[in-house]
């Protein structure tokens, strides 16, 4: 081991990656997580709660160390099925949003149906879907993730398209542009900020959908199944470890969406100075 206390040589310019890692955008959320974990730990210790009431963060590393292979395998199962469900929700949501955004009649016709569908608790749909497609566990899980998350996307796209200022259309229409050209050049890019707002909501919803199916159905796949088996075995630290793993996956996917938003709709962000 080298002597860590040895004084540094003359100060050198910090490399870019180091600057980025110590920037506010990285440090602030990390600090918030640390504070949150500390408060959680303190809450459990002060109340002297046993594990079956609430496990504390210090119990979790042991759970992760013991079951890390399961976490990798099942975490991946949960992640890919959520992402596939989301992609489906994006495709179908945009399609429905376009139909409702461009046609007044379709908007009037479809809105009550959509709202009604969305009002049905998806937990009640899970057994129906499970029976409908018995044995097709991956498909069922993706389906529930999709059903729970397409609504905000469809609504945001339809609102974005139907509230397009008429001048935007007229600029191109007066030149003889087709509807398709107006959609690609104006309507679609103009709707992107609303779309990404909805996508951020949809990401977390899709995880709820995936886990609903995983917890209820007896196929033993995904983090939801791991949670369920931890519950059966009264392994309380494992249950909390699964919850934290789910939170981590949710955050990961959220930041993927943020990165996409920066790339495709970065123009909507204005400097505040």
- If the CB atoms of residues 181 and 201 are measured against other proteins, the closer one turns out to be 181
**Does 183 engage in binding with other proteins (CB under 8 A)?**
no
**Candidates 64-72, 105-113, 168-176, 239-247 — which segment interacts with other proteins by CB under 8 A?**
168-176
Minimum separation from the CB atom of position 31 to other proteins (A): 33
Q: What is the 3-state secondary structure (H, E, C) of the chain?
A: CCCCCCCCCCCCCCCHHHHHHCCHHHHHHHHHHHHHHHHHHHHHHHHCCCCCCCCCHHHHHHHHHHHHHHHHHHHHHHHHHHHHHHHHHHHHHHHHHHHHHHCHHHHHHHHHHHHHHHHCCHHHHHHHHHHHCCCCHHHHHHHHHHHHHHHHHHHHHHHHHHCCCHHHHHHHHCCCCCHHHHHHHHHHHHHHHHHHHHHHHHHHHHHHHHHHHHHHCCCCCHHHHHHHHHHHCCCHHHHHHHHHHHHHHHHHHHHHHHHHHHHHHHHHCCCCC
Q: Which residues of 223-262 are buried (b: 16+ CB within 10 A; e: fewer)?
A: bbbbbbbbeeeebbbbbbbbbebbeebbeebeeebeeebe
**Does 168 engage in binding with other proteins (CB under 8 A)?**
yes
The single residue among 215, 244, 257, 268 that binds other proteins, judged by CB under 8 A, is 268
**Does 265 engage in binding with other proteins (CB under 8 A)?**
yes
**Candidates 38-46, 61-69, 90-98, 265-273 — which segment interacts with other proteins by CB under 8 A?**
265-273
- If the CB atoms of residues 188 and 215 are measured against other proteins, the closer one turns out to be 188
Span 63-102, contacts to other proteins by CB under 8 A: none
The single residue among 46, 176, 180, 272 that binds other proteins, judged by CB under 8 A, is 176
**Does 108 engage in binding with other proteins (CB under 8 A)?**
no
**Candidates 72-80, 133-141, 181-189, 215-223 — which segment interacts with other proteins by CB under 8 A?**
181-189
User: How many chain residues bind other proteins (CB under 8 A)?
Assistant: 21
The single residue among 37, 117, 189, 200 that binds other proteins, judged by CB under 8 A, is 189
**Does 172 engage in binding with other proteins (CB under 8 A)?**
yes
**Does 52 engage in binding with other proteins (CB under 8 A)?**
no
> What CA–CA distance (Å, rounded) separates 233 from 243?
16
**Does 267 engage in binding with other proteins (CB under 8 A)?**
yes
The single residue among 2, 65, 175, 232 that binds other proteins, judged by CB under 8 A, is 175
Give residues in contact with other proteins (CB under 8 A). Answer: 165, 167-168, 170-177, 181, 185-186, 189-190, 192, 265, 267-268, 270
């Amino acid at each position: 081991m080298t002597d860590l206390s040895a004084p540094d040589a003359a100060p050198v310019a910090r490399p870019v990656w180091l600057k980025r890692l110590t920037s506010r955008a990285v440090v602030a959320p990390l600090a918030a997580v640390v504070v949150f974990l500390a408060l959680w730990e303190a809450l459990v210790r002060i109340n002297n709660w046993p594990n079956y009431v609430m496990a504390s963060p210090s119990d979790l590393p042991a759970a992760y160390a013991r079951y890390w292979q399961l976490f990798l395998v099942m975490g991946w199962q949960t992640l890919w099925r959520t992402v596939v469900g989301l992609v489906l929700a994006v495709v179908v949501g945009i399609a429905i949003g376009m139909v409702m955004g461009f046609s007044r009649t379709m908007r009037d016709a479809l809105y009550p149906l959509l709202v009604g569908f969305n009002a049905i608790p998806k937990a009640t749909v899970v057994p129906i879907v499970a029976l409908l497609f018995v044995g097709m566990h991956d498909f069922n899980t993706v389906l529930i993730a999709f059903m729970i998350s397409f609504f905000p996307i469809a609504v945001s796209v339809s609102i974005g398209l139907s509230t397009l200022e008429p001048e935007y259309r007229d600029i191109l229409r007066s030149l003889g542009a087709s509807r398709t050209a107006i959609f690609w050049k104006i309507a679609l890019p103009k709707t992107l900020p609303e779309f990404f707002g909805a996508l951020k909501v949809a990401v977390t919803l899709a995880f709820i959908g995936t886990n609903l199916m995983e917890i209820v159905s007896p196929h033993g796949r995904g983090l939801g199944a791991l949670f369920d088996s931890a519950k059966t075995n009264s392994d309380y630290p494992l249950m909390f470890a699964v919850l934290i793993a789910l939170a981590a996956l949710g955050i990961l996917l959220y930041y993927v969406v943020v990165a996409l938003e920066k790339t495709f709709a970065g123009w909507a962000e204005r400097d505040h100075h």
